[in-house]
Every structure is written in structure tokens, then in C-alpha cells.
Structure 1
């Protein structure tokens, strides 16, 4: 129950207004709250008080103002807008330091719609501004984004908390998820929570674009050096087939000739703190981006098959020169975030996979994923395959025309009557094309397969039921037969009963 202070002044908020009613995430919006003071019974009591601002219950800041009796005064606060619909709340005299005739009217709210910028920067480095103790790295990213004049939102992940949910991630063309030098230090303080993995997987499966950075992410997933396999998150989504932990950042990191991100790059690097950068190998479908100028100390890889992703196993802040960081940021953004109007890509071979063995003399299916990465719907995407035997004794070609809406993908299947010759090798080339394609270097893929088939069946778990029975009792014999070879088989299975002593 509030005790009313008779004769004391009453404070309330007349209006909340914004310097921009339709900002874009990353814009600075000035929030203005007009605060009124009735001056008490005399109408002349002046009040100096705090006015506190929140967005969706997140603290923005506090302004101190003086309001003359029977008058109004404006409190102002700058807010870096974040994409989405948000509630701005303003509270006058939140601490109840001023005795008022009415303490129940000191709060007001106003909604604001903020347009989503193309990029979301997820600050997940567990530094002081996240409530943690690791080195703060986020300014290196935000400064580079500012320097290349690209719009972005920032979401800071609290120490040990989950990152943005899938609904939030899905609003952005590109995500930069920076873990800095954060590492697991208990059951709850982890670089990528289970919910983070689920949300990132959903975002990428929907064709999202992401740059993930952290030199202890892979260690937290699995601290053992060695191979990673299908079913491991880092294999499935980050493209890691092998990791050698804590190899450190090389003094100079080099790009790859012809790479869309790193062609011609040679950056001096020096870790700001403890250096646990990993050496990684990419799985099929991923390409090397940065290394120590060879096939070792591979620190960064990329893909644009089912989604666009760059994974970096040393921190962006380790690039010592500001101009180098700006250049690399611009290259990453151009690779991951820039959308053309007309752009289709041959994303992957679903079947057969590279180096697989296929059965000769039967109909095999060639299944491809083709994506429309542009902003325009495409009604005439020409998808073709060309199959040739490597000894030049056989060739097969076929073409399909499909329609794919903007931002979507399609499965395209071809039926291939494979020659019945065994021990042959084939190259299958596939291409997706449109007449006005603005990016053609992602239109073509190929795999090599063979017909080195093996015939093999294995018998296991033979049993008779019942095991012990009287003479002339009917008994059932069962056995598990497994085809461990490469061919579909219809083997004859026979059983024998021996008269035992």
C-alpha cells in the first residue's frame, strides 16, 4: 500500500517520442520522454530527479533532469536500435527518492518497430560486458563493420546463457558469431550451448549464412585430437574432418590463390592473449581459406553448398593491422551477405557421393541439390549431367529444366542405366545455369565413382527353437544374413541338421 504525501508534487510522463520512428538496427535513436511536474498544492515546487530508460526490460541508461513546478522537462537517452518490435519503457524517480502525491503513475511505455539490418553480430566472448572474465574482442568486429559502412545489429550473450533463438537468427542475411577466447569452465559455461547448436543447425539448414570464430569451440566439443565424423556437430555444420588442437596462430597467415575471400592475402597475426588456435582439415564440400602458406596450420575454411559458412579457428583480433581487418571483414561480408538478383548454384551431389562404389548393370539415381541464391524467382534453371568413363569407352548426358523460387532449393534427379562392366571408373559432372546468371563460379561440381564391386554375404546369430526337444518334435531354425558387399543379391540360404551323438 502506498502512503499518499498530501500536498507533495506529482510526477508523470506525458509522452515518449523517437528521433526516428522507423529506424534500422544499428541506427542511433534518441528517445525523448516529456516529464510533467504539477508542483504540488502550491504549484511551484521544483523537482530534480532521475529518469531511467529500458528496451524490452534491458537497461539503456539514466538521465537526470530538473522540472519546475506546474511545468514539463524533457529527458533524453540515445539507444542503439536492434531489429524487431520492441517496448521502450521510461520510469521517472524509479528509486522513489521523491515524495509524491501519487507514486503509481511514474511509468510509461511505447512500442517501436526497427527494421532488420543485413548482419547480426553475436558477441559471445564471455568478456566483462557479457558478465564474464575473458578478453573483450567485440570492438575489433564492430569497428571493422563501421569502417566498411555496413548496417548491423549487436546481441550480447550473457555468460553461460544461450545465444539468439532461431526466430531472431532467421531475420538476418548473415550472422557473425564471435566466441573470442571463451572456453568451457564447468557444466554451464560453454562456448556453444546445446540450444545454440540446435538454433545454428536450423538456421543453416534453412540456407543461412554464418561466420563462426573461436579458438576453443572445437576443444569444448571434443578435446581429443583426431578425426571427426558424420553426426558430430563440428563435422556436419562447421565442416571439420580433422582437428589438431592448440597449434597456435601462425605469425603470418596466407590466403589461397583464386579463393573468393582470401586470394592474395598475407596478414601479420599476433594473438592478444593465450593462443589456442587449432589446425583443421575440411571435409568434402568445404574449402581451405587461410593457412600457414601450405597444407598445414589450416585455420579457416568455408562452404557454400547447402548454406554459406566460414569457420575460423583463430580470433579475428589476432590480425594486427586495422586495414587488414577491414579488408578481411569486407571480403567475408561480400562472400556471405551480398545477394545478387540472379544467382543459381549447384550445391551438392546427394547420390552418389565422391569416391563411392555403385552397382553396375542396374539403374542408379543421380540426385543433386540446386539452389536459387538470388532475389528473383527462376522459372528456367537448366540442370545437366555428363557422365564419362575414364577409359573413354562410354558417355551419357541428360538435362532437366526446373523452377526454383528465390532463396529456395530443389532436388533434381536423373536415372542412369549404368553399364554392366565391373572395375570401371566414371566422372560425373553436373551444372546448373540460367541465362543471366550474375555469379557462375558456383554452377559446377563433379564427383568420381567406380564399379569396384564386392560380393559378400555374412551369416550370424543362427539358432534353433526350441534348443532341446524330444524326437520328432518340429523345430524352427533361424539365421541373420547380412549383405556386406556392394551388390544387391538374392542368395540361396540352406540349413543342415547333423545327427549328433
Structure 2
């Protein structure tokens, strides 16, 4: 597939034409080795650096730019000292279940990688290990990769039972490389983990020179679209992110790499929101509880003596936000949702489950 990309630098009056060829992929498994390069004693998050770069020597002889700093600086805002980093050093399988099982949340990113002959995204062994982590160990996965499908499933199209995107990501179909801008706009979907998030993305200065953001339009059969993207001309809007709650495990997948989200605070907030959704009980570790919350007869009674304003979220069993309220002081909320099981959470609120009849 040959793509002619024109980069227009309006401010400088420079027009640069790049002939960029993305060859057909030939899967070529390697013998990957990696190691935990950052270890914290209280870690419960594992960040897997699978971008083909070298964080300690970013100017060295590496295949792709190292993107670890984009994730570290975001995680350090909300989770300093609470995550370990596993850096994959050579092409081949990543960490196995003996490592994955030690973490409540796993974040795996592959950056610019697109072809296993150079550096793989997920290898078959990685998919098997993640399947065990999710299914057997009830894991929580945040996976971001712009070319995982091109690397592992170059002929998709449709996904089928027995394939990781179908079985664990809940995805049905991909139109690969639907758009390939250097930058554009992303928008979170209402009622999902990325609700109210929007902003700009850009691969310029993040990926190799002349490499755009290869974005796929994706359809699901059992996952909720939570993120859309469009090019700067706003001519095409495509589905790039999904969340899936299977009860025993949760997954968020994004074809748009978080590394290209230009604003650090938005990037950090989105990763934080993803982790919050993946592991709703995370905040129980660090909050003190002086609030009063009671549920009775489809009403929520609340009292927050030490807070002027508090945001309350109500999630259904699929992980979708069913309601959100901003409250203060003392009061009562009447909930008219469809009967079923729900979870209430919010800032400085201990996670609470309740039933609407």
C-alpha cells in the first residue's frame, strides 16, 4: 500500500511532499526479552513499553522513537510510585502470566510499531498470556496500538471467534488505515469512560519524520465505542476506541495512541479515567470516608459536610455511565433507571453497589 502524504506548514510557507510506503506485512516472530526497569514497592499498575525504542538511549540505534515519557509524565500526575515499568528490549513475546498476575491493571502500548518483521505489536504468545490474565486472573487491560490489526491481522476485515480482537476486545470489523492524518481532533462518546473529553492529537515530533497517525474505523459486536477521531479538515469521523466489561475482566482498547494526545493534562486525565473505570475500587485505597451515602426506595440520600461540591456517577453492570450528578451539602436524588444492579462512585466516595427495583 503506497500513500502519498503532503505535509503543509502554513506558518513557514513550506510544502513538503513525502513518499511513504507501508509494505505488506509478513509475520516474523522473534525472541523478545524484556525486564522491569522501574520497580516501586507499592505498585499495582504495570506499564508495558513495547514501542521498539530505548528509553535510556533514545538517540541510539533504535527502530522507533521511544514514547515512555508520554506515559510516565501522565501517570506521575495521579499515580506516582504506584506503577512498575516493563520495557521490552528485543523483538519477541512480552511478559508472561507470572509477571502479569501481580498487577491489578496492565497498560500496554506499542506506539509506531506496525510490522513484526521489524518490531511486533502483540505476538500470538502475548495474546495467549493476556487471555489468561483476563479470563483466569480477572485482569484489567488498557491497550493502545495504532497498527496492532495491520501487524497481526493484515487481511481484516472481519474478526472471528478464536481471534483475540473478537474474543477479548469484543470487536467485529476493522477498515484499516481509514484516515492517516498527521494530526486531528478526538472526541469522547457520551455515557462512556471518555465522556466530556476532547482535544487535539498530533504525531508530529512524536513519531518518526513523515509518519502519520494510521487510524482505523472499527465496529464492535460486544463493546461500547468510547472515542472517535477525525482529521483536521473534519471530513471523516471514525470509531477508534472501545470499552468492554465482561464482569470477570475489563478491557479498554484505543487505536489512537495516548502518546499523540497533545495536552499533557488531558492525556493524564484520560488515562486516569480509564484506570478508574477499569478498577472501580482503586480509590478505596487512598480516600478517607467522612461522607454519608444511603440508598433506599430508589433514592440516594447524601451528606457531605466537608465538601462544597461533589460529582456522583452511577454505572450500570456494563460499565456505562447511567447518570451523573453534581451535589453539595445534604439532599436526596430520586433515580428512575431501568431496574437492575448499579454502582455508585465519585470523588472521595467509597464505591457502593445498589439495586433499582
TM-score normalised to structure 1 length: 0.45
Residues 1:203 and 2:133 aligned together: yes
- Select the residue among 438, 442, 450 that pairs with 2:351: 438
Structure 2 CA distance for aligned equivalents of residues 439 and 248 of structure 1: 43
How far residue 266 of structure 1 moved from its aligned partner, in angstroms, is 1.3
**Residue 105 of structure 1 aligns with which residue?**
none
- Select the residue among 46, 49, 67 that pairs with 1:123: 49
Preserved CA contact (<8 Å) 1:240 1:283: yes
Provide, for residues 132-152 of structure 1, a one-character-per-residue CA deviation record: whole Å limited to 9, x for no partner. Answer: 411211110011011223410
**Residue 240 of structure 2 aligns with which residue?**
299
Structure 1 CA distance for aligned equivalents of residues 344 and 186 of structure 2: 38
**Residue 82 of structure 1 aligns with which residue?**
39
Q: Secondary structure at the match of 2:126?
A: helix
**Residue 395 of structure 1 aligns with which residue?**
none
Structure 1 CA distance for aligned equivalents of residues 283 and 146 of structure 2: 36
More helix by share: 2
**Residue 143 of structure 1 aligns with which residue?**
73
Preserved CA contact (<8 Å) 2:341 2:353: no
Structure 1 CA distance for aligned equivalents of residues 342 and 154 of structure 2: 43
Preserved CA contact (<8 Å) 1:118 1:337: no
Q: Secondary structure at the match of 1:438?
A: strand
How far residue 277 of structure 1 moved from its aligned partner, in angstroms, is 2.1
Please list, as runs of the form range in 1=range in 2, the aligned pairs for 1:177-196 lying within 5 A after superposition: 177-186=108-117, 189-196=119-126
Relative distance call for 1:190 and 1:431 in structure 2 (3 A) is: same
Relative distance call for 1:157 and 1:254 in structure 2 (3 A) is: same
How far residue 323 of structure 1 moved from its aligned partner, in angstroms, is 1.4
Structure 1 CA distance for aligned equivalents of residues 200 and 186 of structure 2: 7
Q: Secondary structure at the match of 1:228?
A: coil
Q: Secondary structure at the match of 2:238?
A: coil
Structure 1 CA distance for aligned equivalents of residues 257 and 92 of structure 2: 21
Please list, as runs of the form range in 1=range in 2, the aligned pairs for 1:436-475 lying within 5 A after superposition: 438-439=351-352
Relative distance call for 1:230 and 1:439 in structure 2 (3 A) is: farther
Q: Secondary structure at the match of 2:252?
A: strand
Provide, for residues 339-384 of structure 1, a one-character-per-residue CA deviation record: whole Å limited to 9, x for no partner. Answer: 1699xxxxxxxxxxxxxxxxxxxxxxxxxxxxxxxxxxxxxxxxxx
**Residue 55 of structure 1 aligns with which residue?**
none
How far residue 431 of structure 1 moved from its aligned partner, in angstroms, is 3.8
- Select the residue among 214, 218, 230 that pairs with 1:276: 214
Greater Rg by CA: 1
Q: Secondary structure at the match of 2:69?
A: helix
Could you list the runs of 4 or more consecutive aligned residues of structure 1 that deviate by over 6 angstroms after TM superposition? 433-437
How far residue 215 of structure 1 moved from its aligned partner, in angstroms, is 0.6
Preserved CA contact (<8 Å) 1:175 1:209: yes
**Residue 320 of structure 1 aligns with which residue?**
262
**Residue 305 of structure 2 aligns with which residue?**
none
Relative distance call for 1:166 and 1:248 in structure 2 (3 A) is: same
Provide, for residues 206-226 of structure 1, a one-character-per-residue CA deviation record: whole Å limited to 9, x for no partner. Answer: 310010111111111211242
Higher relative contact order (CA 8 A, sep 6+): 2
Residues 1:289 and 2:226 aligned together: yes
Residues 1:256 and 2:198 aligned together: no
Preserved CA contact (<8 Å) 1:116 1:172: no
Preserved CA contact (<8 Å) 1:120 1:154: yes
Aligned length: 247
Preserved CA contact (<8 Å) 1:125 1:135: yes
- Select the residue among 140, 163, 169 that pairs with 2:94: 163
Residues 1:215 and 2:146 aligned together: yes
Residues 1:241 and 2:179 aligned together: no
Preserved CA contact (<8 Å) 1:116 1:171: no
Structure 2 CA distance for aligned equivalents of residues 435 and 192 of structure 1: 35
Please list, as runs of the form range in 1=range in 2, the aligned pairs for 1:380-459 lying within 5 A after superposition: 431-432=340-341, 438-439=351-352
Relative distance call for 1:257 and 1:432 in structure 2 (3 A) is: closer
Q: Cα RMSD (Å) of the superposition?
A: 3.2
TM-score normalised to structure 2 length: 0.62
How far residue 324 of structure 1 moved from its aligned partner, in angstroms, is 1.1
Provide, for residues 470-492 of structure 1, a one-character-per-residue CA deviation record: whole Å limited to 9, x for no partner. Answer: xxxxxxxxxxxxxxxxxxxxxxx
Structure 1 CA distance for aligned equivalents of residues 159 and 48 of structure 2: 26
Structure 2 CA distance for aligned equivalents of residues 282 and 143 of structure 1: 32
How far residue 296 of structure 1 moved from its aligned partner, in angstroms, is 4.4
Relative distance call for 1:341 and 1:225 in structure 2 (3 A) is: closer
